[in-house]
Chain A
């Protein structure tokens, strides 16, 4: 929710008086110093396959509602719903961070994962004279941080010697998008823009010799390299409010090949990957004056690519369906504290052990509008907590994921 009179409905306030938000400058400076979104922290063992683990650039409100990131009431700076930004009236910035904790098992072996990432940073700047909004978003796309280890023995001139192998992948792919969202009347908004895939991955194999008699320091073999990612993306989006209680939105993402080029010091080969065309549609409706419902769907078709993804790696067409309820009956003065619940089920694009993985989760959350000027939210938080599970063959994983979005506007 950003600077609009009613965060659910995107209506335009008639008379807005801005109250300077003293903390805005501080928050903005803090935002500027944060690192670019890293898909970083090992999200799941599923990330060891294909291009990694997909991480959507969603904010806490979308997460709490089980949304696929499109068709939510109100305004947002979600790259998954570019037309939603058309309702923004004041310069707005958002930062989302996301801790997670996971526990799973593979062939009865226990696994754990935890970390924090910054899946989305976004800025929207309205140009009132043309009723449009310029947007800049930096969002996560693929998480490639993981590590595998193996303890084994090698024969050295007939002597079994214990070694520990480790393979680590550190990095990921993010997307920087610039766009324009245009209001067309009070009920329609359209958006479009371009973006660039960015990021890098460092892949390192190490073999440590744990038991070499007579050698003071155990020797270690290490090889690896670093690849930088590049590619283009373009997006289109539209929203339509056919009635004051109903919204329908859609977005289409096109991507060029994702190129992975080795750095000068890296001996590995370059690679190129086909990225899928992705379509998102969603809708929200008002069930009662205080209760909204949202539902959304995404579709993407992942394909193999020569020199990149093997046919047996990609899952092909993947769907994701999610939705939830938002109750805005909890208020205090001019402030509202929307409560949200949701459910979502998703296919994941890369097979694990030959099996197509799925993810399902239930979610809940709350919004906290800390700074409001008349009817406009100038600063606040959205908080989401998700409990989910993933499954692919003998691999199962349960996880908790929190999402916190900090918003400031009117700076």
Chain B
């Protein structure tokens, strides 16, 4: 084939295919649409779509959080203290001896030190500089079960603190945290204090971190014990050596009781709320809609465009006011009879859950939160006529990351001024025909 012919063929093919980028005739003339569906929104009251709501607590422990909590009379209610137990002290350090050689030395004298912690300035609540104190805990405690009342609270072993709130403690140091200067708090420790924890039993008991200033709630991280060490081979030089916290938890009071007329999720141990749904088979519509369609309207998966659980936020219990965004997860309760230990299904709202800003539980209490449940409600409707669709009518509201924090989310429950609602968006149509 001659080159000129080939070029011609390519040009011809290009021209012929030039229209391949499809564009359909389109107009904004709605009168020509062959169908005229009616869309209506229906908001069902709680009793019309649910049989009840039950709160379940006790999921997770404070030790599972990534931070400790320190509070004193926060919102006039909450006291929290963080307990930190230390690992063993170092048994040797490397120092330069008189000949200039660096070598390990196991003959150590602990002459002092400091304890450094950092405050999460985003999730903490304060009003000006805060004074914190640390004291040596005098009693063994169990990191998994310690609480305000009990140092150990496990099956077959319940031991109370001599003094509620992990007391008494041997006062060691105080420090002031000024938020304007940074996020670190440094507690200076004398030789007697650091000598205390050379005993591994006492070291394991560790310290209790208290807030001296009232009206604060702080989330504290990174409890680092930095020792000043003098080695025999070079007594003129001080060496610093870090001791990592071996264990950490926090204790608080008051402990939340069963909510009255509220739906809760969050806090630690965490709360979940289980809703028992009973979506009606038909719904009534406003008279103007009923003039166009036959009422009541049967709920079908085809007609359902969206379904949202409507919650209204309310102020959290004193002391448990959120200070950062919460993320609500919604999952099927697969075996409701086994609550609170029923397995849960996959998330119905995505991995990150439904974002709820902290203001909704304070100055913006009463805000509306929509939880998208379209696919779930569609499944409930399908299950009525299709035995192969297996879906639980119990839904659990919980924190997407559980446990996430001490604070919790609270919404109006059944019987409250703002009970949950189910908002359905329906589109009613006679169906698409070929003509």
Contacts and interface: CB of A to CB of B under 8 A. Distances in A.
Interface of A: 23, 41-45, 47-48, 97-102, 106-107, 109, 111-116, 145-152, 154, 156-157, 163, 165, 167-168, 201, 203-205, 207, 209, 212, 214-217, 219-221, 223-225, 227, 260, 262, 267-271, 308-309, 370, 381, 383, 402, 404
Contacts of A223: 35, 37, 302, 429, 431-432
Interface string B17-34: 111111111111110111
Contacts of A271: 433-435
B39 interface: yes
Given A268-B434, A271-B435, A209 B26 contact: no
Contacts, number: 166
B25 A113 contact: yes
A97 B16 CA distance: 7
Contacts of A116: 16-20
Please indicate which of the listed interface residues B16, B41, B43, B434 has the most CB atoms of chain A within 10 Å of its own CB: B434
Across the A-B interface, the 5 shortest Cβ-Cβ residue pairs: A99-B19, A150-B30, A219-B306, A42-B24, A156-B41
Contacts of A163: 39
Given A42-B23, A112-B23, A167 B17 contact: no
A147 B25 CA distance: 6
A41 B25 CA distance: 9
A308 B433 CA distance: 10
B15 A48 contact: no
Contact of A147 (B26, B37, B40, B306): B26
A308 B435 contact: yes
Contacts of B16: 97-99, 116, 402, 404
Given A41-B22, A99-B19, A156-B425, 9 more contacts: A44-B25, A99-B15, A114-B19, A146-B24, A203-B434, A205-B34, A215-B372, A223-B302, A402-B16
Contact of A115 (B19, B32, B43): B19
A205 B428 CA distance: 12
Please indicate which of the listed interface residues B1, B16, B33 has the most CB atoms of chain A within 10 Å of its own CB: B16
B3 to A, nearest CB: 14
Contacts of B308: 214-215
Given A214-B370, A219-B305, A308-B435, A167 B28 contact: no
B153 interface: no
A49 B26 CA distance: 13
B41 A157 contact: yes
Contacts of B30: 148, 150, 152, 165
A210 to B, nearest CB: 13
A216 B356 CA distance: 13
B142 interface: no
B427 A115 contact: no
| Chain A facing B: main interface SS | strand
Given A116-B20, A267-B431, A219 B33 contact: no
A145 to B, nearest CB: 6
Contacts of B32: 48, 148
Contacts of A204: 432
A219 B374 contact: yes
Interface of B: 1, 5, 12, 15-30, 32-35, 37, 39-41, 43, 302, 305-306, 308, 368-370, 372, 374, 425, 427, 429, 431-435
A205 to B, nearest CB: 5
Contacts of B435: 271, 308-309
Contact of B20 (A99, A216, A370): A99
B247 to A, nearest CB: 40
B26 to A, nearest CB: 5
B433 A268 contact: yes
A205 B37 contact: yes
B425 A106 contact: no
Contact of A209 (B19, B23, B28, B305): B305
A100 B29 contact: no
A100 B306 CA distance: 40
B222 to A, nearest CB: 35
Contacts of A262: 434
A97 B33 CA distance: 31
B33 A165 contact: yes
B26 A148 contact: yes
B432 A203 contact: yes
A101 B37 contact: no
Contacts of A156: 39-41, 425
Nearest to B350: A216
B411 to A, nearest CB: 14
A271 B435 CA distance: 8
B33 A115 contact: no
Contacts of A404: 12, 15-16
A269 B24 contact: no
Given A219-B305, A221-B39, A383-B12, A268 B19 contact: no
B28 A149 contact: yes
A201 B372 contact: no
Contacts of B34: 167, 203, 205
A135 B29 CA distance: 44
Nearest to A395: B27
Contacts of A215: 306, 308, 370, 372
Please indicate which of the listed interface residues A219, A227, A271 has the most CB atoms of chain B within 10 Å of its own CB: A219
Given A167-B33, A223-B431, A154 B39 contact: yes
A47 B432 contact: no
A275 to B, nearest CB: 14
Contacts of A168: 24
Please indicate which of the listed interface residues A112, A148, A381 has the most CB atoms of chain B within 10 Å of its own CB: A148
Contacts of B429: 205, 223
Given A215-B306, A215-B308, A221-B427, A115 B37 contact: no
